[in-house]
Each structure stands twice: as structure tokens, then as C-alpha cells.
Structure 1
Amino acid sequence: MLASKFYISTLKEAPSEAELISHKLMIRAGFIKRLGSGLYSWMPLGLKVLRKIEAIVRTEMNQVGAVELLMPAIQPSELWEETGRWELFGPQMLKIKDRHDRNFCFGPTHEEVITDIARKEINSYKQLPINFYQIQMKFRDEIRPRFGVMRAREFLMKDAYSFHASKTSLQETYDAIYQAYTNIFNKIGLQFRAVKADTGAIGGDGSHEFHVLADSGEDAIAYSSVSNYAANIELAEAILQDDKRPDAKESMVKFDTPKQTTCDDVAKLIGVSIQKTVKTIALINQTNEVNEFFLVLIRGDHELNEVKLTKVKGFENFRFATEEEVKDHLKCPPGFIGPVGVKSSIKIMADKSVGILSDFVCGANEPKLHLRGVNFVRDVSEPILYADLRKVVEGDVSPDNQGTLQICRGIEVGHIFQLGNKYSKAMKAEYLDENGQTQTLEMGCYGIGVSRIVAAAIEQSHDDKGIVFPINIAPFEVVIAPIGYDKSNEVKASAHKIYDALRAIGVDVLLDDRGERPGIMFAEMELIGIPYRVVIGDRNLKEGKVEFQGRLDQESKLVDEYQIVKEIKSLIAS
């Protein structure tokens, strides 16, 4: 491609609202242009990157036997009402009406639509298994769109859905997709981890997320220091190293805490370890339109894991109690509440790590007062339930008992689910087995955030000059930067000779024929993230040489003009 025939529109500065480095660089490099909140136009350079990622995804999906189709972006409400998700999915769903006042949504995902296709098209076990996929724009009405395409309202996604006669068949396809995703991210050139994950609003049984490792990632990942274990921090199990509770040695004593409302401040005041403190969290459980007030006890140095709490039967729909609700039930402001002396009607549950504490410190349910030397049975009844309710921390024993947990940040770019029959049962998607009996289809669901990968790749690899793209997704693999293109016939001839030769062997090459000054050319191409640069100038041409430099190389090197194409071919092939 000739730069004069392409569209390159770079900026020296990013807009003030751009927070993440990927957002700043994508704007500056002219990859995207903001249309509205969470809405972006993909400009030619950005679209080239997007299409290269699509091609890698499409190749690997085809390789595992998935069949591509394309479903409508606008979906009728009736399908979502069948599964109960019309209301359950929440305000992220953009709901619209047509001229006949019928309800539709702009599809945030396509489980209902594909299940409707399956129940109409699949009749026999002989048609199974089948795996459909599409690459399509989705829309989710984020409450606060931010970080550019990382959390945009409209985004490009590859979503696949498989149908099976058995859980065994589902597991086989799930494993094949897991491997395909591994191949995809390896081909793109990303550092990533596959982690066990929560199924969330999609539902189902087994689930894995694929995270690009980056310090700016929104998700925390827990992984073993010695094994292959890895899980989203929301799902990682906290293992007790010792399940024995020491005998009580202290009497319960009330003490003043005039300004101390956190476990850390209280522990420092009386000179005890924060691990001897217990934080009491007041929550409301919403069941059958009744708001039930209850308490959860967490060790002072730990955090409540909200996802784990939703897994406790009967507590799927909880929220944090308001200050007014806390005062109404405990006659005490937040910051001083505890389990001692509460009404018997208030349920108390605790994290397992609290269950092995003795002589602990907690709120006294009186303003500006706490208790120390508190013990279960003697001072407060045992909670109704001990469960794993906390987030893991670095140094915890790995759930596979191999090594300890480390924590890193990741950007989720893929998620796969074993849905089971959640959707097929609700929508009566059935088939006849080999005995002529009606059976419910088993389903799998597999997503990749194609547009998000662009931002994630930039977050993982950039420098103070701009983007550093892996070669397989860079907008161009090589740029030819001729110095004095519009002034020297020799430079122009050499540039076009090398350009034509690279194109002939399939290299995606950009020839900057705009006659720009070297500093402007170099800065722009480094910002864009093109992996290799060939610089052609009169002085070196007289010696039969051209300059060659990789995007991360500190220095350029001189290469024989006639050898440059061969060298580039070798580098790209490797």
C-alpha cells in the first residue's frame, strides 16, 4: 500500500478523557475516532488490525469444525422472555420498540437466537454434534463506558454455540475450543493465561476465561507458583492450612475506639495483629419480595468475595445494607458493628478463616466501642454457616496443594462455557435419540472479544514511542521510509523496487511516498507500531546499502540492497 493512497491520521496528543494507554495510543495513531459515549468508528489502520485478528480467529474455528453463520443483531423480546433473561439481564440490554410497539433488543449475546435455530433445525442425534459461530457487532449499554474499545458499548465479538447429545460430547468440543483459543492467542503473539472462572449471567456449569496479562487489567488472576493452576480471583478457593480453633485465653472486654472504624486502625490502637480482628458486614437478602437483614463475618485482613456469596444457596440476591438499615437493626452506625448480642432472628454466617479464631476483636454494636477477647460459643453463638467467602491473597496455599498463590492482573479477551441444558430446556430445544426418544440438547458457548484484543495487545506491549504490535496483527508488517523520495530518482526507484518485491512474496508492506521529513516519518511509523522499517537514502545507496531496523531494536543496521527482501522474508517466516 502506498501511504499517499491510504488514510493515515495521527495526533501528537490524546484527548483528555483517554485514561488507559491503549485508548490514548489508538486515538493518537488514528485507529479509532469517537462518535459518542462508548461508540467508535474504526478507521482504516485500526480496521486492518481488526481484520487480521478476525482472520486468525476464523482459521482456528474452521480448523475445529465450527460452521460460520450470521444472526440478526436485533432480537425479539419473546425469545428472551422464554429463558427469563428479558428482565434478568439487566440495564445493560438496550431495549427498543418498532413501529408496531413490539419489544426488541440490540443483541448483547445470542444464546436465545441460536437455540431458536437449533430447535427448528435439529431433529435427530445424527445431526449432532454441531458448532456454529459468527463474528458480529454486539451492544451492551455500559453504565460508564470508558477505556476506549476496552469497555465500549458497541464491540466486535466472535461467539460460538455448540449442540450435543451428551455431556461427554460437550466436553470434547469444549476441550477442542480451549485448544483453539490457545492457538489463537499464541498466533496473535500475546502473553496470556487461561483461568477457571465464574459463569456469571450466561450461566451453565464449567467455565474458563482467557486473560491477556497486563498491569492495567481490570481482573485479578490467582495462579500457583509451581503448578499450572490458575483462576479468576473471584473463583479461586481459599484453603485453610489449619482447621483447629485454639482454646480461649482472654475474657471479653469492651474498649473505646473514638475514631477507629476499620480493622486496621483498631488493631493498631491496641497493638494486635489485624489477623486477630473480624469485620462484620451487614447485608440484605432479597427473597420473595422480603428484605432479610443478615451478617457476614470476614477476617480483618481479608475481603468479602461477592461472587462466592452468591453461590451460597438462598443468598443469590443479596445487596449491602444501607446505613439506615444498619442503625435500624443494630442501633449502631457502621464501623462499630459486630456479632455479639444481636437478635436471634438475625442470621450470621462466616468465612472459614473466622471459624478458627479465638480471642478475636470485633465491633461492640455501640458507637465508638469495640470488643476484644471474643470467642464463639462462650460470647456469641456459632454462625449458621461457615463457608469460603473471601478473596484469596498472595501467599495462600494453591487449591491444588502445589505451591502458593501469586496474583497478577489480566484483561479478559475470551470466555468459554459449558451451558448444559439451561437454554435448551427453557426453550424446548430437543432431538430424537437412537431409540427414538425425545431428549434435551446439551449446549456450549464460546466467546472472544475481537475488538478488545486490539486494546489488550497494546496494553501488553508499548513504549514511550507508541504501539509495539506482534507482527501477525500489525497494520503493516514492514514500512519503507525513503529519505528524499520526491527529490531523488535513485531513492524512489529503489523504494519501489523493494516495495514490489515484498508485495510479490506476500508481505504486507507500506511505502511512505508522501515526501515527509525523516523525523516525522519515523515517529509516525513507531507510533503506529509497524514491526520492521527499511530506510532508503542517497548516501547508503551509493554503497549498495539500505538501513533496516526492528521496532524494538536500539540501533539500525546496514543491509545489502539486494539482500533486504530475503532477510525480511526470513524474519517474517520465523
Structure 2
Amino acid sequence: MQMSQLVLKTLREAPSEAKARSHQYLLRAGYIRRLSSGIYSYLPLGLRVLAKVSNIVREELDSCGSQEILLPALHPVEIWERSGRIKKMADVLMKVEAKSGDFVLGPTHEEAVIEAVYQDLSSYSDLPATVYQIQTKFRDEPRSRYGLMRTREFIMADAYSFDSDQEGMRSSYSKVYDAYNKIFAKMEIPFEPVEADSGAIGGDVNHEFMSPAEIGEDYYAKCSSCGYRANIEAATRGSKDADAQGVGSELPELLYHYTPEAPGVEKAVEAISDLGVPTKAHEMLKCLVAIDGDQRLVMLLVPGDREARVPSGMRLLEDPEFERYPYLHKGFIGPMNAKENSIYVVADLSVKERSHFATGGNKAGYHVTGAVLGRDFQVDEYRSLVVVRDGDPCPRCGSALTLIRSVEIGHTFQLGLYYSSILENARFTGPDGQQYPYYMGCYGIGVTRLIAVIAEHFLDDRGLIWPVSVSPYQVVVVPLGAARSKEIEEVAETIYSGLLKDNVEALIDDRKLSPGVSLADCDLIGVPYQVVVGSKSLKEGQVEIKVRRDGTTTKMPIEEVPTRIRELLGRSL
């Protein structure tokens, strides 16, 4: 491709909207253009990168036995109502009102894929099967940022496996999981698979593929001793193996304190201390009330200085719901009357590490001090309920955990019967003639996000540095000089033509620009290898080959260029 014909105008400065360097360079180098907040067009260079990324995904998913399909982006609202996710994902769903009915712009395709394939997978003999698509998704993100990192319209590769039993599901999951590892390795992205929370997708066993990044909006916890890794939403902390002290004469008396203007931990600590009972946040017991899947009230107890993590399958009680429970005074809730009100109590592991706490008094405007575990309140179950932080003990070996800022680049789920137990079409006929639900897995890769992640990892002060596997072009030939000689142009054209004959994806910068501008553009665009044809080296019968990644430049005879390029590409791919 001749750069004079390429739809490309590089920018010397990035638009003010771009904060991340990857976003700035993708805009400046002409890969993408913003249409609206969280909505981008892909220009020729960007589309070539997108195609490369998509093809790597296709190659590996095809290799593990998956079959490509294409599902609609527009879904009838009824299938979302049947699965119950019309409410569960209401905060990100984009809806379309049409004369023919209401529709959802698909943020994910679990419901749609079941509708598409259940007739073809109607018998146990049709299983196992895994299908995938590379399709546009829509999510009403409240804060689109960092360019392609978080958008409202994006492209995802999502796969779905169907099996007749749990063992088969685990086998299918393992195959796609391995394919994901190969996909990210081919793109040279630093990543780690970590345990994760299923969120709105559902299911039990699942993993996120996390790529460490300074602009990441997520964190995962890692133990360098035993290898434990988990997303911060799923990570748990170990206990210090210290049980609460038994009831004894030295334990404090349960005392009530009038604290009318002090709902919540911070105000309560201040108010109680002002009354002459010095108290700190970690000595407080934060009490949250949730409802589980059986509509049972559950009280979650965590130390006052820690952020609580609500377990999967539960949701916190909403403000209007407190009116149904006159014994729950929001802002002043304590665990002392939980048992008599049939509230199941779940405490964080660290609650065992103290014998007594300050907490809500179960009366509006009151807190207590000296609430003793085992005397004044009981715990039905201990779990890790706090959001982990640096230095917390590993749940497996007890060593200190480290939090790593990162970006999610893929997610795999063992759904089990999560959807097939709800959706009536998710059934197959077994060998005994009976109907059984599918055991499903689902798997997602943010294809357009990968472009931003790769760009963020591979850049320098001059621009992008694409890995060969995803670069829009492999080599750019650069004849130097706005008023260059005919000889320079002929040599450059000969090299360029030879590369094309060798099936090398090549650009030639045939624009009449100064050497500084031309070379700066080539560095900005980030093609892995540059063949620079200049008057000085040409006098010696040589040209220069520059490796964009490390900046090294090598002079060599013109006739050796094809061989050297093949060697470089062979080593890179």
C-alpha cells in the first residue's frame, strides 16, 4: 500500500479527550476516530489491526473444535424477560422501541444462542458442541473512558459450549480456556488467568484473564508464595487463626450510648469517643442486611474499617424495604437481636479475631459498646466478606497478598444449568428418551478492547510498537527526502515490490515529506520494521533496516534485504 493513497492524516497532538497514551496514539496515528462518547470508527489502519486480532481468535477457537456462527445484535425483549436478565442487567441494557415491538441491543448473547441452536442440538448424540461468534455488542456504560478500553459499542468474541453432563462441560471449558491462553500469548499480551466472580452472567467456576496495566480499572490479588490469583471481586482473605476469647469477668459490659446524629461507622466512632469511650473504626462492627436466593434475611458482619463484599446470590436490602422490618433501624443496626428475628448471621473471618465490638444498638439513635461475640450475639457462618487489600493473608497459605492493577481481557464461565434450568428450549433428549437441560459454558474476549490493551503495552515516546502478529503492516519502506533523487525512489520501489512478491505486508511512504516528518510518522504508526533508503547509505550500495521495538538500525546491501526481512518476520511470528 502506498501511503499517499492511504486514508490517513496523522495528528501532531492528541485531542483533549484522550488521557491514556494508548488512546492518544491510536487517534494521532489515524487508527480510530471518535463519533460520540464511547463510540468509535475504525479507519483503514485500525480495521487491519482489528482483522488481525479477530483472525487470531478465530484460528485458536477453530483449532479447539469451536464452530463460528453469527447471531443478531437486535433481540426481542421477550427472551430477556424469560431469563430474568431484563432486570438484572437493566443498568447497561440499551433498548429499542419499534413499531413491531420492543427490542434489546445485545450486550451478551446467552439467550439468543440457545434460541439459535437448540433445534440442532436436540439429542444427546448431537453433543458436545461449541459455537462462537465475533459480533458487535452494546452496553450503556455510564463512564466511557480510555478510548477503546471502555466503550458503549464494541466487538466481542463470545463462545458457548453445550454438553450433556458436568464432566463434559468441564472438558469443553478446559479446551476453550487453553485456547484463550494461546490467543493472548500470540498477541504477546502480558496476562494471568485469575479466579473471578460470575456477576450478571451467572454460573459457578469462572476465570478472568487479567492484563496488568497502570490505567486498569480493576485489580486482582496475587500470592507470590503459592500462586493464588483472584479478581478483587472474588478474592478472599485468610484468617489469622485467632479465635474470640470466651466469656469471662474481664470482658466489658454491654453499654448503650445515645448517638442520634451518628448513623454509619465514621460518625459513630466520633460520637462514641466524644462520650468518653475511645473507639476506632476497626473496633466497630459494620452490619449490612441482605436477602439471599431463598428470600431469607442475612446479616453480614465486617470490621468497620473494611469495605464489605456481598456474596454472590445475595443483594443488599433497599431503603424502602426496611419499612417491612420495624426491628431494623438503618444506620443503627446491631447483631444482638438477629436470632430472635430469624436473621441468619454471616461474619467475616476477621470477626473471630476480636472478643468484643462497638456496633449499632438496634434502636434509632443508639449505638453500643462491649458487644461480646458468644455472649451478646452469635454467628451462624464465617466467610471472607471483606474486599481484600495489600498485605491481607492469602486464603491458601497465609502469605501476604499483593493487589495488581489490571484490565480484564477475557472471561470464561462454567454456567452449568444456570440458563438451561430457566429457559425451556435449553433441552436435549437423552438415551432414555427423557428431556434434560444442557450443561453450558460461556466465554468472552473483548476484541476491540484488545487493540487498546496491546497499544498500552507496546508504545514509547515516539508512538506505537505493534507486535508483528497484529500489526496492520509488517514492513514500511521509507525513501528519504521531499526532493529525493530518482535513484532513491527506484531502489525503494524495487525493495517494496520484492516484499510484496514475498507475500510480506508492506507499506511504502511515497509522500513527498521531509525525512524528519516521514520517519516520525512511521514511528508513530508503529509498523515493526522500517527499510530506510537514504542518499548516504545508498552511495555505499546499502540501506538501513530499523527494528521499531528496540530502535536498533543495521546497514546492509540492497540485495540482502529480502532475506533479512524474512529472517526477522520468521523469528517474530
TM-score, L = length of structure 1: 0.87
Q: Deviations over 1:149-169 (max 9, x none)?
A: 211111011111121122111
* Residues 164 and 441 in structure 1, CA contact (< 8 A), matched pair in contact too: yes
Could you tell me which of 530, 540, 561 is aligned with 1:564? 561
Letter in 1 for 2:252: S
Matches within 5 A, 1:91-170: 91-100=91-100, 102-170=101-169
1:451 to 442, 448, 453: 448
1:393 alignment counterpart: 389
| Contact 2:222 2:402 (C-alpha < 8 Å) held by counterparts | yes
Residues 97-143 of structure 1: per-residue CA shift (max 9 Å, x gap): 3223x121111111112111222222222211111111111111222
> Does 2:377 match 1:381?
yes
Question: Which of 417, 420, 426 is matched with 1:424 structurally?
Answer: 420
Query: TM-score, structure 2 length as denominator?
Result: 0.87
Aligned mates of 1:548, 1:224 — CA distance in 2: 43
Matches within 5 A, 1:76-95: 76-95=76-95
297, 302, 309: which one aligns with 1:305: 309
Q: Give the corresponding residue for 1:261.
A: 266
**Shift, 1:186, TM fit:** 0.3
Secondary structure of the equivalent of 1:5? coil
Equivalents in 2 of 1:87, 1:340: separation in Å?
31
For structure 1, the residue ranges without an aligned partner over 5 or more in a row are none
Secondary structure in structure 1 of the residue aligned to 2:4 = helix
1:21-48 per-residue CA deviation (whole Å, 9 max, x = no partner) reads 3222222222111112221111111111
Deviation at 1:214, TM superposition (A): 1.0
Q: Corresponding residue for 1:69? A: 69
Q: 1:126 to 1:540 in 2, by over 3 A?
A: same
Aligned positions, number = 561
Provide the rounded CA distance (Å) in 1 between the counterparts of 2:433 and 2:530: 65
Q: Spell out, residue by residue over 1:345-390, the C-alpha distance to the aligned partner (whole angstroms, 9 max, x if none).
A: 5956431211221255557799999876653245x42345432211
Rounded Cα–Cα distance in structure 2 between residues aligned with 1:538 and 1:291 = 81
Contact 2:290 2:300 in 1 (8 A): no
Residue matched to 2:334: 339
Counterpart for residue 413 of structure 1: 409
Instruction: Determine the structure 2 residue equivalent to 1:251.
Output: 252
Aligned CA distance change for structure 1 residues 320 and 383 (closer, same or farther; 3 Å): farther
* 555-564 vs 132-141, which moves further: 555-564
The aligned amino acid for 2:449 is: R
- Distance in structure 1 (CA, Å) of the matches to 2:291 and 2:432: 46
2:23 maps to 23
Whole-angstrom CA distance in 2 between matches of 1:187 and 1:175: 19
Residue 215 (structure 2) aligns with: 216
Distance 1:480 1:358, change over 3 A: same
For residues 346 and 120 of structure 1, the distance between their equivalents in structure 2, rounded to whole angstroms, comes to 47
Give, in whole Å, the separation in 1 of the partners of 2:270 and 2:486: 75
Instruction: Check conservation: 2:266, 2:281, Cα contact below 8 A.
Output: no
CA distance in 1, matches of 2:563, 2:271: 69
Alignment partner, residue 200 of structure 2: 201
* Contact 2:285-2:357 within 8 A present in 1 as well: no
Which residue in 2 is equivalent to 1:491?
Answer: 488
2:505 is equivalent to residue 508 of structure 1 = yes
* 2:334 alignment partner AA: P
Q: 1:32 to 1:263 in 2, by over 3 A?
A: farther
Task: State the alpha-carbon separation in 2 of the partners of residues 14 and 205 from structure 1.
Answer: 43
- 1:277 aligned onto 2:277: no
The answer as to whether partners of 1:137 and 1:155 remain within 8 angstroms in 2 is yes
Letter matched to residue 317 of structure 1: R
Distance in 1 between the 2:287 and 2:355 partners? 19
Q: Is the 8 A contact 1:361 1:372 kept in 2?
A: yes
- Specify the SS of the correspondent of 2:156: strand
Partners of 2:360 and 2:373 in 1: how far apart?
14
User: What is the CA deviation profile of residues 445-495 of structure 1, one whole-angstrom value per residue up to 9, with x for unaligned ones?
Assistant: 111110010111122232222222222112222222221265211211121
Question: In the TM superposition, what is the alpha-carbon distance from 1:563 to its structure 2 partner?
Answer: 2.2
CA distance in 1 between partners of 2:366 and 2:19 (Å): 42
Identical amino acids, percent of aligned pairs: 36
1-structure distance, mates of 2:428, 2:365: 65
8 A contact 1:282–1:320 mirrored in 2: no
Q: 1:61 to 1:350 in 2, by over 3 A?
A: same
Residues 122 and 276 of structure 1: is their aligned pair in 2 closer, same or farther, counting only changes over 3 Å?
Answer: closer
Q: How much does 1:283 deviate?
A: 4.8
| Aligned match of 1:460 | 457
Query: CA separation in 2, counterparts of 1:64 and 1:287?
Result: 36
Q: Secondary structure of the residue that 1:448 maps to in structure 2?
A: strand
RMSD between superposed Cα atoms in Å: 3.5
Q: Residues 264, 507 of structure 1: CA spacing in aligned structure 2 closer, same or farther, 3 A cutoff? A: farther
The residue matched to 1:86 in structure 2 has which SS?
Answer: helix
Secondary structure of residue in 2 paired with 1:497:
helix
The 8 Å contact of residues 330 and 342 in structure 1, kept in 2 or not, is answered as no
Contact 2:482–2:514 (8 Å) recurs in 1: no
Q: Are 1:184 and 2:211 counterparts?
A: no
Q: Secondary structure of 1:200's match?
A: coil
Distance 1:373 1:402, change over 3 A: closer
Partner secondary structure for residue 353 of structure 1: helix
- Pair 1:535 & 2:532 matched: yes
Counterpart residue number, 1:37: 37
User: In structure 2, how many angstroms separate the alpha carbons of the residues matched to 1:266 and 1:520?
Assistant: 66
Deviation readout 1:474-521 (Å, 9 max, x if unpaired):
222222222126521121112112212222222222111102112212
Aligned to 1:356: 353
Provide the rounded CA distance (Å) in 2 between the counterparts of 1:36 and 1:558. Answer: 46
Matched-pair contact (CA < 8 Å) for 1:118–1:429: no
Report the alpha carbon displacement of residue 174 of structure 1 after superposing the two structures with TM. Answer: 0.5
Q: Is the 8 A contact 1:280 1:295 kept in 2?
A: no
Give the Cα–Cα distance (whole angstroms) in 2 for the partners of residues 163 and 536 of structure 1: 56
Task: Check conservation: 2:257, 2:272, Cα contact below 8 A.
Answer: no
Distance 2:519 2:270 in 1: 54
